[in-house]
Amino acid sequence: MRNVVGPRRARIRLDAEMVDVAFDVDEQLRVEEPGGDVSGETENVSRMFVALEILLDGSTRIPPLQELARDFREDPCRPARGTPKRRSRPAAWHPIGDDPAERSVLDRHDLLP
């Protein structure tokens, strides 16, 4: 990931929380309070997206990241998760035909409107 992002910085925001991330001269990841404007050219933004893809791809297989996720979920300061709400279905983007085989496949994958 360090090779992809190099000296670039990124701002990560989730709801009301925001941090700036970058690798320092010792190639250690630094997470800091946001400071200044973080914007960049297309190449810089593209590299940050690649870094996020690397992070997401490895997050389920890398033990330290698995532990970090577990710590986050079990943090007593986090509000308890409620029961997930069932999302409403969007309108069908194409008409559903009368073909029983098509309806069977759509029903099996819970895709009927």
pLDDT per residue, tens digit, the chain (113 aa), is 888 888 888 888 888 889 998 888 888 888 999 988 777 788 888 888 898 888 888 888 888 888 888 888 888 887 777 666 666 666 656 566 677 888 888 778 877 76
Matching residue, tokens 């810089």: 44
pLDDT at 92: 58
Yes or no: say if 59 and 50 are a contact pair by the CB < 8 Å rule. no
pLDDT at 45: 85
